[in-house]
Amino acid sequence: PPDRFRLDAATPEGVLQDIFGYPRFRGLQAEVVAQVCRGGDALVLMPTGGGKSLCYQVPAIVRQRRGLGVTVVVSPLIALMQDQVGALEEAGVHAAFLNSTLSTEQAQQVERELLSGRLTLLYAAPERINTPRFLAQLQSLYERGQLALFAIDEAHCVSQWGHDFRSEYLSLSLLHERYPEVPRIALTATADALTREDMIERLALQQAEVYVDSFDRPNIHYTIVEKGASPREQLLRFIRDEHEGAAGVVYCQSRRKVDDTAQWLQSQGIPALPYHAGMDATQRKQHQDRFLREEGLVMVATVAFGMGIDKPDVRFVAHLDLPKNIEGYYQETGRAGRDGAPAQAWMAYGLADVVNQRRMIDESPAGDTFKQAQRRKLDALLALAEATDCRRQRLLGYFGEQLAQPCGHCDNCDQPPDTWDGTEAARMLLSCIYRFEQHSGQRFGAGHLIDVLRGKDSDKVRQYQHDSLSTWGIGRSLSEAQWRAVLRQLIALGHVRSEGEYNTLVLEPSARSVLKGEVVLRLRHASEPTRGRRRGPQA
């Protein structure tokens, strides 16, 4: 009946039901929507798939119906803008976007609609906002009281600590300076404490109510394995054993490795496609479209792939290289299982990953404070990778969320890893590095260190007379793989650093307490390359 419709028309619940066809709000949506409808600012942290769009779409409709005008949504994602505008128009909500895909005439048409006050939502790319032309249009709306709300999507892009920094986001604080009475809602699926503070600062959101939804993705199972002799064979086994015929994403660090891995998987009968920024745009688009449309394709990609990709049935996300930090890991693995059905996050990691990531930070042209922050973030990721307890507790803990019990749904919960008292081995290794410096004033890399510990008679050993060191051959009882595992963990724990072009090893100040026997180190065993996965059919 028309009467009831009119009554409901400007309430959040009415809009949710009438326009979107959902019976109720989910999680924190109701609170966020209420805050924004009443004109307050909000910072919303919700995991991917959590329902962020409704947090600004519903208030946009409510406020337009109350005669407050248009909501401007800032988004860097062109595909998402187009999808959302299409869906809104279909639901009878007048929406449009302004981005680089429009011709001049099309853009002018949208601008006319905007100025007419008829639009409910306008999606705009961040680089638009800062143009004099667009600012003049906003000013005109503002003066007529027709600027209802600003929504800033992917708000973490404003933070230089994050992984998707976009300089155009920095100018978004302008919106608050020019239009202080217009409420703002900023949204992101990723934010540790540092990024969160950065967003508040840079977007001037000090007055905003902060809403943090649970970041848990209960349907994702987490596994982190140690790299053996052939990580891609490990990957292949993982795919064949558990995800034959399923859609998945495999992340690699370099373009070359993306190409090689995709080709190799194909040669092994896995339908795989490469995706990275070095490919030409047409082919990239074609691979992306095929991945979205066809079933059971594996996308091998750099981090260039994924933001804004909404494929619900991705069954696994695998990492063949270590991401930069936990936020990156969370965001990338979060692309698995958006449909809520069981999915897996699988990562293989090894000593070389740690060394590479550290070196990339050291060699980056960034300033010291920035590098220091990146190192701390990497350390947190290494601690997750080396963890012997619940991965999910660690992961959520990083985002400031406590999980009372171990999750029962990660590799370490499935089977607690074997640990051993590695204190003595660690002392041997550390003192060997110490002796190198004492003896020849020089530093050496992992290979030579392990040769000396195991008493191997190599050219280099003879050249430097390292067979005369007190640490020569004291570590024969451990295999090379075991020593690599010890070293990796000592690096992850911050007792040793590897630096320079040759990845030479240096003791960190904290190594002292280990050398002096003041701490006990429980280390993970090196996994035997032959040991199969436990969750196979026999298990």
Tell me if 494 contacts ligand ADP by CB under 6 A.
no
Per-residue string for binding with ligand ADP, 49-78, x by CB under 6 A? Answer: xxxxxx------------------------
Tell me if 387 contacts Zn ion by CB under 5 A.
no
From Zn ion, ligand ADP, none, which one binds at residue 314 (CB under 5 to 8 Å depending on kind)?
none
Residue with nearest beta carbon to ligand ADP? 51
How are beta strands 343-349 and 314-319 bridged, if at all? parallel
Q: Of the two residues 48 and 333, which places its CB atom closer to ligand ADP in the complex? A: 48
Would you list the DSSP string of 7-22? HHTTSHHHHIIIII--
Where does this chain touch Zn ion (CB under 5 A) — which range of 212-220, 270-278, 360-368, 388-396?
388-396
Tell me if 407 contacts Zn ion by CB under 5 A.
yes
Residue 342's region, left for phi above 0, alpha for psi from -120 to 50, else beta, is beta
Closest separation in Å from C-beta 411 to Zn ion: 8
Helices (H), 228-342: 231-242, 255-267, 281-293, 326-333
Kindly compute the dihedral angle of the four CA atoms of residues 30, 36, 42, 46, in this order, to the nearest 10 degrees.
30
From Zn ion, ligand ADP, none, which one binds at residue 48 (CB under 5 to 8 Å depending on kind)?
ligand ADP
Tell me if 394 contacts Zn ion by CB under 5 A.
no
Task: Look up residue 373 and give its amino acid.
Answer: A
* Whole-Å CA distances, 527 to 352, 429, 524: 16, 19, 8
Among 12, 14, 15, 25, binds ligand ADP (CB under 6 A): 25
d(CA 45, CA 96) in angstroms, rounded, equals 25
d(CA 144, CA 183) in angstroms, rounded, equals 16
Closest separation in Å from C-beta 26 to ligand ADP: 4
Where does this chain touch Zn ion (CB under 5 A) — which range of 162-170, 352-360, 392-400, 519-527?
392-400
Residue with tokens 């840079």: 202
Question: 209: burial class by Cβ within 10 Å (0-12, 13-18, 19+)?
Answer: middle
Tell me if 347 contacts Zn ion by CB under 5 A.
no
Find out whether 232 and 261 touch, Cβ atoms under 8 Å.
yes
From ligand ADP, Zn ion, none, which one binds at residue 50 (CB under 5 to 8 Å depending on kind)?
ligand ADP
DSSP state of 167: G
By CB under 6 A, the count of residues binding ligand ADP is 12
Tell me if 410 contacts Zn ion by CB under 5 A.
yes
Q: Of the two residues 213 and 242, which places its CB atom closer to ligand ADP in the complex? A: 213
Where does this chain touch ligand ADP (CB under 6 A) — which range of 46-54, 135-143, 402-410, 483-491?
46-54
Kindly compute the dihedral angle of the four CA atoms of residues 483, 486, 490, 491, in this order, to the nearest 10 degrees.
60
Tell me if 217 contacts Zn ion by CB under 5 A.
no
Closest separation in Å from C-beta 46 to Zn ion: 22
From Zn ion, ligand ADP, none, which one binds at residue 296 (CB under 5 to 8 Å depending on kind)?
none
Degrees (nearest 5) of the Cα angle 162, 165, 171? Answer: 125
Q: Of the two residues 158 and 410, which places its CB atom closer to Zn ion in the complex? A: 410
Question: 115: burial class by Cβ within 10 Å (0-12, 13-18, 19+)?
Answer: middle
Helices vs strands, H then E, count in the chain: 23, 17
Find out whether 383 and 492 touch, Cβ atoms under 8 Å.
yes
Of 131-170, binders to Zn ion (CB under 5 A) are none
From Zn ion, ligand ADP, none, which one binds at residue 484 (CB under 5 to 8 Å depending on kind)?
none
Closest separation in Å from C-beta 52 to ligand ADP: 3
* Whole-Å CA distances, 329 to 107, 224, 382: 37, 11, 11
Tell me if 413 contacts Zn ion by CB under 5 A.
yes
DSSP state of 410: B
Tell me if 345 contacts Zn ion by CB under 5 A.
no
Where does this chain touch ligand ADP (CB under 6 A) — which range of 42-50, 65-73, 176-184, 404-412?
42-50
Q: What are phi and psi of 318, to 5 degrees?
A: -115, 145
Where does this chain touch ligand ADP (CB under 6 A) — which range of 45-53, 69-77, 100-108, 347-355?
45-53
Tell me if 341 contacts ligand ADP by CB under 6 A.
no
How are beta strands 419-421 and 522-524 bridged, if at all? antiparallel
Q: Of the two residues 26 and 256, which places its CB atom closer to ligand ADP in the complex? A: 26
From Zn ion, ligand ADP, none, which one binds at residue 390 (CB under 5 to 8 Å depending on kind)?
Zn ion
By CB under 5 A, the count of residues binding Zn ion is 6
Tell me if 46 contacts ligand ADP by CB under 6 A.
yes
Tell me if 152 contacts ligand ADP by CB under 6 A.
no
Residues that bind ligand ADP (CB under 6 A): 22, 25-26, 29, 46, 48-54
Residues that bind Zn ion (CB under 5 A): 390, 392, 406-407, 410, 413
